Structure 1
Amino acid sequence: MTTHQPIRIGVLGTHSTGKTTLLKRIEMELRAEGITVGRTGRLGKRAAAAGLPKMQHHTARSTEWIITQGVADEIAAVAQGAEVVLLDRAAHDALAYFHAALEYRGESAARTERERLLTLATTQLPKYHMLLATVLDESVTVDSRHDYDPRYRRLVDHHVHQLLDRDDIPHLRVTSDPDSQAHIVDEAVRSCMTEALV
């Protein structure tokens, strides 16, 4: 595969809705086609390891760290020769988690701070060839090792789709239905292969 610009596919959605699993499936299919794939991820855990708050405790600072670290990871993947970069937590994902955390805590952020973070995330949109947004299905059992607050999980899902719809950001929704997931994997692989021929 030869292309001047690496293909970037981002995923966003609330926790435990299959984002990482979906990207792993896309990665396996692409590697089977001989495509070099880079994948970013674990940003929330890495933010916590750096001493930053996460989940319902997110702040503007932790949000900015996640967005900029995700961008840095993507650049590093491209520098290492990735033809396709799979972004586990596209920039708007961090915004949705931040807005959900504020609503959860009954707080608000200064308008200038909100606008600054939105601008930061929006600068990344032209780089994505495809954005995938998972949809929360509360009937799917969550791993018991995760002590997720169900209200916060719902708020993140709400803010993810509100941000995408409000700003009319092109994306594909991915439900928990196996057929939906298989279709999205096929679409992503087909898009990468088509882009490679351009």
Structure 2
Amino acid sequence: MVTSPVPIRIGVMGAHSTGKTLLMRRIEMELRGQGIPVARTGKLGRRAALVPLPKMQHHTLASTMWVMATGIAAAARLEEGPLQVVLADRACWDALAYFRAAQEWRRQPAARADREALHRLASAHGHTYDLLLDTVLTPTLPVERKHDYDARYRTLVDRHTHDLLREENIRHVRVTSDPASQDLAIERALQLCTTEAPL
């Protein structure tokens, strides 16, 4: 039986409206422009709202498990196809950061068993990225009026994102709102995908 090579995996995580999806779209467009087979997961937030499940500062163990499992399953389905690159718009660790931020926002610490269960799931799949991009919140940048975000929760997500990456000693590329930083991240992704060697 002939097996297809494992595609390169690129993930992104960070607080909401920090440019995650736009960054993934730009990488996808650049790769397609070079004829590299690529697919992107995404829209987990919209799908969770249709279930419906709690979101943002209302995240629960169940909703976080759902986001993680759905993202993992979506990436796994893509990896079964003839792809060279899979882009994960919201890496596994992202959901855990949102959950931890929700617990702090509500001042309701989760049970230790629940925290450990989520951590095990994120750990099992969170180290499979060849490149992980971490978008950084710039609080002074305006957010579209249609997004009624809680500013404190958004800040907590940003902090927990960076805390998780540091605690787990995960290699990543920080991406700020500076166009030069975004261009550099895209260049790193293209370099990885064109040389087929993890950074």
Same fold (TM over 0.5): yes
TM bucket, shorter chain = over 0.9
Match of 2:169 in 1: 168
Structural mapping, 1:2-13, within 5 Å: 4-13=5-14
Matched position secondary structure for 2:196: helix
Q: Which stretches in structure 2 are left out of the alignment for 5+ residues?
A: none
**1:96–1:160 contact (8 Å) kept in structure 2:** yes
Deviations 1:99-139 (A, max 9, x none): 00010001011111101100100111332101000000012
Match of 2:193 in 1: 192
**2:6–2:79 contact (8 Å) kept in structure 1:** no
Distance 1:36 1:69 in 2: 22
Structural mapping, 1:41-80, within 5 Å: 41-80=42-81
Q: How big is the shift at 1:181?
A: 0.2
One-letter amino acid of the structure 1 residue matched with residue 190 of structure 2 = V
Distance 1:116 1:6 in 2: 27
Could you say what the CA RMSD is over the residues aligned between the two structures, in angstroms? 1.3
Structural mapping, 1:1-198, within 5 Å: 4-195=5-196
Identity value in percent: 54
Matched position secondary structure for 1:131: strand
Distance 2:162 2:82 in 1: 32
User: TM-score under structure 2 normalisation?
Assistant: 0.95
- Between stretches 187-196 and 114-123, larger displacement belongs to 187-196
Deviations 1:153-173 (A, max 9, x none): 000000000000111111110
Matched position secondary structure for 1:22: helix
Q: How big is the shift at 1:196?
A: 6.5
**1:38–1:78 contact (8 Å) kept in structure 2:** no
